[in-house]
Amino acid sequence: MRRSEIRKQLRIRARNIIVQRDRRFFVNIEKKDLKRAIRRLMQMKNYTHLSTITALDVGSMIEVIYHVAFTDALVSVKVQTSKDEPIIPSIVDLIPGVALYEREIHDLFGVEFEGNPDLSPLLLPDGWPEGVYPLRKWWSVDRVLSKLGGKR
Protein backbone atom coordinates (compact mmCIF):
# COMPACT_ATOMS: atom_id res chain seq x y z
CA MET A 1 0.00 0.00 0.00
CA ARG A 2 1.27 3.47 -0.84
CA ARG A 3 0.71 6.91 0.58
CA SER A 4 -0.94 8.14 -2.61
CA GLU A 5 -3.58 5.41 -2.43
CA ILE A 6 -4.59 6.39 1.07
CA ARG A 7 -4.58 10.04 0.08
CA LYS A 8 -6.80 9.43 -2.88
CA GLN A 9 -9.18 7.24 -0.94
CA LEU A 10 -9.52 9.52 2.06
CA ARG A 11 -9.25 12.79 0.07
CA ILE A 12 -7.02 14.46 2.64
CA ARG A 13 -3.84 16.47 2.46
CA ALA A 14 -0.59 14.61 2.06
CA ARG A 15 0.93 16.17 5.15
CA ASN A 16 -1.70 14.51 7.29
CA ILE A 17 -0.37 11.12 6.30
CA ILE A 18 2.85 10.09 8.02
CA VAL A 19 4.71 7.12 6.62
CA GLN A 20 6.62 5.82 9.56
CA ARG A 21 8.17 2.93 7.69
CA ASP A 22 7.21 0.34 5.19
CA ARG A 23 3.72 -0.97 6.14
CA ARG A 24 3.14 1.64 8.84
CA PHE A 25 0.92 4.67 8.16
CA PHE A 26 -0.39 7.23 10.59
CA VAL A 27 -3.28 9.39 9.43
CA ASN A 28 -4.38 12.50 11.29
CA ILE A 29 -7.99 13.45 10.74
CA GLU A 30 -10.69 15.56 12.27
CA LYS A 31 -13.26 14.11 14.62
CA LYS A 32 -16.14 14.80 12.25
CA ASP A 33 -14.42 12.95 9.40
CA LEU A 34 -13.76 9.81 11.44
CA LYS A 35 -16.68 7.71 10.32
CA ARG A 36 -16.23 8.61 6.67
CA ALA A 37 -12.52 7.80 6.86
CA ILE A 38 -13.06 4.42 8.48
CA ARG A 39 -15.78 3.56 5.99
CA ARG A 40 -13.54 4.49 3.09
CA LEU A 41 -10.63 2.53 4.48
CA MET A 42 -12.90 -0.48 4.82
CA GLN A 43 -13.69 -0.28 1.12
CA MET A 44 -10.03 -0.49 0.18
CA LYS A 45 -8.47 -3.58 -1.23
CA ASN A 46 -6.78 -5.94 1.26
CA TYR A 47 -8.73 -4.65 4.24
CA THR A 48 -8.89 -7.35 6.90
CA HIS A 49 -10.05 -6.03 10.23
CA LEU A 50 -9.78 -3.29 12.81
CA SER A 51 -7.07 -4.47 15.17
CA THR A 52 -7.84 -2.33 18.15
CA ILE A 53 -8.42 1.18 19.40
CA THR A 54 -5.75 2.85 21.51
CA ALA A 55 -6.30 5.92 23.63
CA LEU A 56 -3.55 8.19 24.87
CA ASP A 57 -3.40 11.09 27.26
CA VAL A 58 -1.66 13.94 25.43
CA GLY A 59 -1.89 16.91 27.76
CA SER A 60 -5.18 18.74 27.34
CA MET A 61 -6.40 16.32 24.71
CA ILE A 62 -7.11 12.65 24.49
CA GLU A 63 -5.87 11.00 21.36
CA VAL A 64 -7.72 7.98 20.04
CA ILE A 65 -5.99 5.80 17.49
CA TYR A 66 -7.83 3.30 15.31
CA HIS A 67 -5.50 0.59 14.05
CA VAL A 68 -6.95 -0.61 10.78
CA ALA A 69 -5.24 -3.73 9.54
CA PHE A 70 -4.65 -4.61 5.89
CA THR A 71 -2.86 -7.64 4.59
CA ASP A 72 -0.01 -5.41 3.49
CA ALA A 73 -0.11 -2.52 5.95
CA LEU A 74 -1.41 -1.19 9.23
CA VAL A 75 -3.06 2.21 8.98
CA SER A 76 -3.47 4.05 12.27
CA VAL A 77 -6.13 6.74 12.14
CA LYS A 78 -5.61 9.38 14.81
CA VAL A 79 -8.39 11.53 16.22
CA GLN A 80 -8.13 14.03 19.05
CA THR A 81 -10.77 15.16 21.46
CA SER A 82 -10.59 17.60 24.31
CA LYS A 83 -10.62 16.37 27.89
CA ASP A 84 -13.39 18.77 28.88
CA GLU A 85 -15.80 17.30 26.43
CA PRO A 86 -14.49 13.90 25.38
CA ILE A 87 -17.01 12.82 22.78
CA ILE A 88 -16.18 10.83 19.69
CA PRO A 89 -18.61 9.28 17.19
CA SER A 90 -18.83 5.54 17.67
CA ILE A 91 -18.04 3.28 14.73
CA VAL A 92 -19.80 0.29 16.20
CA ASP A 93 -22.42 0.47 13.43
CA LEU A 94 -19.67 0.11 10.81
CA ILE A 95 -17.66 -2.55 12.58
CA PRO A 96 -19.58 -4.38 15.35
CA GLY A 97 -16.32 -5.89 16.58
CA VAL A 98 -15.11 -2.66 18.16
CA ALA A 99 -17.81 -2.60 20.85
CA LEU A 100 -15.50 -3.93 23.55
CA TYR A 101 -12.60 -1.65 22.64
CA GLU A 102 -14.86 1.38 22.91
CA ARG A 103 -16.17 0.20 26.26
CA GLU A 104 -12.64 -0.32 27.47
CA ILE A 105 -11.64 3.23 26.54
CA HIS A 106 -14.84 4.56 28.06
CA ASP A 107 -13.86 2.84 31.30
CA LEU A 108 -10.28 3.92 31.42
CA PHE A 109 -10.27 7.37 29.76
CA GLY A 110 -13.85 8.49 30.11
CA VAL A 111 -14.34 9.02 26.40
CA GLU A 112 -17.99 9.01 25.38
CA PHE A 113 -18.64 7.18 22.15
CA GLU A 114 -21.69 8.70 20.58
CA GLY A 115 -23.88 5.96 19.17
CA ASN A 116 -22.54 3.00 21.10
CA PRO A 117 -25.62 1.49 22.76
CA ASP A 118 -23.83 -0.21 25.65
CA LEU A 119 -21.10 1.64 27.51
CA SER A 120 -21.51 -0.13 30.85
CA PRO A 121 -18.32 -0.89 32.77
CA LEU A 122 -16.39 -3.73 31.24
CA LEU A 123 -13.21 -3.89 33.24
CA LEU A 124 -13.58 -1.70 36.29
CA PRO A 125 -15.29 -3.20 39.33
CA ASP A 126 -18.86 -2.40 40.27
CA GLY A 127 -19.12 0.71 42.42
CA TRP A 128 -16.09 2.36 40.86
CA PRO A 129 -16.35 6.09 41.63
CA GLU A 130 -17.46 8.28 38.77
CA GLY A 131 -14.93 10.57 37.22
CA VAL A 132 -11.94 8.38 38.04
CA TYR A 133 -10.29 7.45 34.77
CA PRO A 134 -7.25 5.43 35.79
CA LEU A 135 -5.22 5.70 32.63
CA ARG A 136 -5.39 9.50 32.41
CA LYS A 137 -2.07 10.91 33.54
CA TRP A 138 -3.58 13.14 36.19
CA TRP A 139 -4.88 10.10 38.04
CA SER A 140 -1.62 8.86 39.45
CA VAL A 141 -1.68 5.71 41.54
CA ASP A 142 -1.66 7.72 44.77
CA ARG A 143 -4.56 9.90 43.69
CA VAL A 144 -6.67 6.91 42.74
CA LEU A 145 -5.89 5.19 46.00
CA SER A 146 -6.75 8.22 48.10
CA LYS A 147 -10.01 8.55 46.18
CA LEU A 148 -10.81 4.91 46.87
CA GLY A 149 -9.80 5.23 50.50
CA GLY A 150 -7.04 2.64 50.40
CA LYS A 151 -3.39 2.77 51.29
CA ARG A 152 -0.39 1.79 49.27
Partner 1 sequence: MTFEIPFGPQHPALEEPINFMFEIEEERVVNVKPRLGYVHRGIEKIAENRNYQQLVYLSERICGICSFAHASCYSQVVEELLDLKIPERAKFIRTIVAEMERIQNHYLWLGLTAKEMGFETLFMYAWRDRETIIEMLDMISGKRVNYGMSTIGGVRRDITEPMIKRMEESLNHLEARAEYYTKVCTKDPSILKRTVGIGILRPREARALCAVGPTARASGIPRDVRADEPYAAYGEIPFKVVTYRGCDVASRMYVRIDEIKESIKIIRYALKNMPEGPIRVKAPMRVPEGEAISRVEAPRGENLHFLKSNGTDKPERWKIRAPTLANLLSLCRMLMGVNLADIPVVIAGIDPCIACAERIALIDAKTKRLKVWEGKDLWRYANEWYRKRYGL
* 12, 44, 119, 144: which one binds partner 1 (CB under 8 A): 144
Alpha helix stretches (DSSP H) within 18-121: 34-43, 99-109
Residue from the set 9, 54, 80, 112 that interacts with partner 1 by CB under 8 A = 54
Q: How far is the CB of 150 from partner 1 (least distance, A)?
A: 4
* Beta carbon of residue 92, minimum distance to partner 1 (angstroms, whole number): 10
**Contacting partner 1 within 88-117 (CB under 8 A):** 95-101, 104, 107-108
User: Which lies closer to partner 1 via its Cβ, residue 32 or residue 130?
Assistant: 130
Ramachandran sector of residue 82 (left: φ over 0; alpha: ψ -120 to 50; beta: rest): beta
Task: Kindly state whether residue 131 participates in binding partner 1, applying the rule CB under 8 A.
Answer: no
Q: CA 146 to CA 77: how far, in whole Å?
A: 36
By CB atoms closer than 10 A (0-12, 13-18, 19+), residue 144 is middle
